[in-house]
Structure 1
């Protein structure tokens, strides 16, 4: 197909049809401070291929590689060891080039993989069913909120103070177009999540309560009482899991009464990759399955009685359902879902539990060691592999100073909640199986020096 650019008259006709005076008007929803006033400074309008390669390599070298320094970043994106076999298998041609499996007779491999993925996610979350993945954790969270609205026919969602602020931000952005009322709050530097406050907010207008498990400060709470309170008011409980490895040690949200469980699957099979692509996880109870967004693969038998796989309960927009579709997200992150499934298969149940144990043990060692540093207070009383420290100084400059020393010390709450003075000294530290005792010692020494 030849590339046929638009002529000026073509553009004017298209703009007139949709009722805008010029192309810049299409970007009216983008804040002015976020728009480029012109070409990027220092970037030539054209260059040779060799010059571009050198320029991009020089830019890449400015990044700090997670595996080359003591690394304690978390808050929804975690550094875990991904076996080499995962990348080897997902790069096989039949997987790497596969597209949406609308023709089951030629897509049995993809459909079977997605069916296995769904089974793994459902067992991990403690739900009856799971879909074939979503775009990422934050958008899966929003899809759960809209699903709760469809089920309950109510428009108020209560978002826990412990929900990741980026997830809250995505929900707020989308709610502008749906009219959903989102009730939000800021976290406080306390050792336990405030479940009683959440329960008190549930009323007859509430569609759902959204709670993160473990939450943004690493805190772990029992969801059973909250689930009972939601169900007493005919509302749904949505649990968000940003660290699925935690469920190798913790009780699954579905087993505590969560109606919908969503999360981010990046920890298993998918590297940090500077923020993406990631993979959203979505599970729910059987009674809600027809309102579940996304793609669902099912097992059946063919005319000869042989086992086979098909798409089932497909209500997505690609099936020409338009406004009747349960989702407007056009991808299920299939390759990342495959990576997740391969990693889970390699681990098995015993391996996942052992991996979770290594994470928790490492985090306990780090928390005990860092709590001995003058000017450091351990806030989180119960945690998996992530906990919050309160420093004697504002955390953001401390993190920058440690980064200059080659230590990625964690995520400052001042970065997540800018302008909130009560959270400014908070530092969230994550420890995984890739963190060594030597890394912890380096961080402790660095904090001692910077806080003195």
Structure 2
């Protein structure tokens, strides 16, 4: 079967309509030396049966969280997703919908986004949440930009906790690369938390904001309240972030701990790993900051007949208003991923989410305590952690991970490049998907490879 959308006759009619003899004439502007002179060197075509057979064979070569014992975390977490999530998100009215610019024909999509926003605002302890960002890293970068807009223009210094995931830090630096500001990283203490003394020494009238992740890149839970007090006392804002949304079911909402803006990754809510995405950025802030909120926002209203309805409100992106006045260049939102998150949270409910979070917490603590009894394994950080933790090994981590992989175990992440002082450091994660038998197998394997 040849996948050609037009017939030769149709192509000829189109050429005549635009004033050329043949499609190749459209490429005359491309230098002759750069044009393809012959067909692509592709293998011969396959029948549908043979094609499916080959694709399945290739798929079996992938290592997944289901085909191996996985203890990977670091921003991408393996969680159970109820089958109802896919059943609902696969419905045609959701699967094919795009931006709901016309509310009169988009009430279903708009209400789904509105419910999503309501859930996110509640979980983060904030007044208002947007319709979603690309991912947690870009959401954090947008939060930093928003905080710069909200503070005194003379404050151009951005503090970035070194305990934030390195990918998130890099995205923030990229976003702010052409912005008139200075980024300064705040070190972490020996227990894995932000160095509060170092933060105090950095605070002055030039600091606009500080970004802090909790649980941070090491899985450590930060104590945000004293950090918020220090920042607010200096006239700066606290931007809280996270990469593991399941922690929101157990930890105090960042808004209640004093954060002014909260941004993070929501993929753990009903979205599959999918070899790296798509992800879902969560973003929320205080009500007084709503005019600077990036992205889309769905609001509730009534129509001419007094019936409840939903519309896009306070549009701030460059397609809606003059570019120089836009607060964000987000050109779409992750509506399908947000729908999956809303369905997931609706199915679990507050108590269900808390139960899943407790399972993550207890599994990680069981695994950590057992691994610390293995000769050659030491604790890296003493502060409380959620569902992942860092171990210090007496052997290069890469060699240990290779031996574990030979045993069918994805044993964690080598994080020595994430920040100074992390040589021979292994980040290990345990979720509700890791049974006691699997964790015990990992513990036995660790004893064998060290």
TM-score (norm 2): 0.88
Q: State the SS of the aligned residue for 2:309.
A: strand
1:356 partnered with 2:353: no
Q: Which has the larger radius of gyration?
A: 2
Give the alignment partner of residue 390 of structure 2, picking from 368, 388, 391: 388
Cα displacement (A) at 1:186: 6.0
Change (3 A) 1:313 1:441: same
Return the alpha-carbon distance in structure 2 between the equivalents of residues 271 and 415 of structure 1: 27
Contact 2:239–2:260 (CA<8 Å) still a contact in 1? Answer: yes
1:29 maps to what in 2?
none
Aligned ranges for residues 319-338 of structure 1 at < 5 Å? 319-338=320-339
Contact 1:193–1:219 (CA<8 Å) still a contact in 2? Answer: no
Change (3 A) 1:230 1:188: closer
Return the alpha-carbon distance in structure 2 between the equivalents of residues 6 and 204 of structure 1: 62
Q: State the SS of the aligned residue for 2:86.
A: helix
Contact 2:266–2:281 (CA<8 Å) still a contact in 1? Answer: yes
Q: How much is the aligned-residue C-alpha RMSD, in angstroms?
A: 2.2
Contact 2:363–2:432 (CA<8 Å) still a contact in 1? Answer: yes
Return the alpha-carbon distance in structure 1 between the equivalents of residues 187 and 24 of structure 2: 49
2:263 maps to what in 1?
262
Change (3 A) 1:71 1:226: same
Return the alpha-carbon distance in structure 2 between the equivalents of residues 348 and 320 of structure 1: 38
Return the alpha-carbon distance in structure 1 between the equivalents of residues 351 and 264 of structure 2: 22
Deviations 1:81-125 (A, max 9, x none): 000000010000110011100111110000100000000000000
Contact 1:316–1:328 (CA<8 Å) still a contact in 2? Answer: yes
Cα displacement (A) at 1:189: 5.5
Return the alpha-carbon distance in structure 2 between the equivalents of residues 188 and 274 of structure 1: 33
Q: State the SS of the aligned residue for 1:253.
A: coil
Deviations 1:196-254 (A, max 9, x none): 32233222111210000111111112111111111122211101111111111111110
TM-score (norm 1): 0.88
Give the alignment partner of residue 401 of structure 2, picking from 391, 399, 402: 399
Aligned ranges for residues 10-21 of structure 1 at < 5 Å? 10-11=29-30
Return the alpha-carbon distance in structure 2 between the equivalents of residues 438 and 415 of structure 1: 32
1:27 maps to what in 2?
none
1:197 maps to what in 2?
198
1:173 maps to what in 2?
174
Change (3 A) 1:308 1:194: same
Aligned ranges for residues 293-332 of structure 1 at < 5 Å? 293-332=294-333
Structure 2 unaligned regions, length at least 5:
1-5, 7-13, 16-22, 35-39
Contact 1:101–1:110 (CA<8 Å) still a contact in 2? Answer: yes
1:48 maps to what in 2?
45
Alignment length (residue pairs): 421
Which stretch has the larger CA shift, 394-403 or 78-87?
A: 394-403
Return the alpha-carbon distance in structure 2 between the equivalents of residues 290 and 444 of structure 1: 51
Return the alpha-carbon distance in structure 1 between the equivalents of residues 187 and 56 of structure 2: 40
Which has the larger helix fraction?
1
Aligned ranges for residues 165-244 of structure 1 at < 5 Å? 165-184=166-185, 190-244=191-245
1:82 maps to what in 2?
81
Structure 1 unaligned regions, length at least 5:
13-21, 24-42
Q: State the SS of the aligned residue for 2:164.
A: coil
Cα displacement (A) at 1:292: 0.7
Contact 1:204–1:233 (CA<8 Å) still a contact in 2? Answer: yes
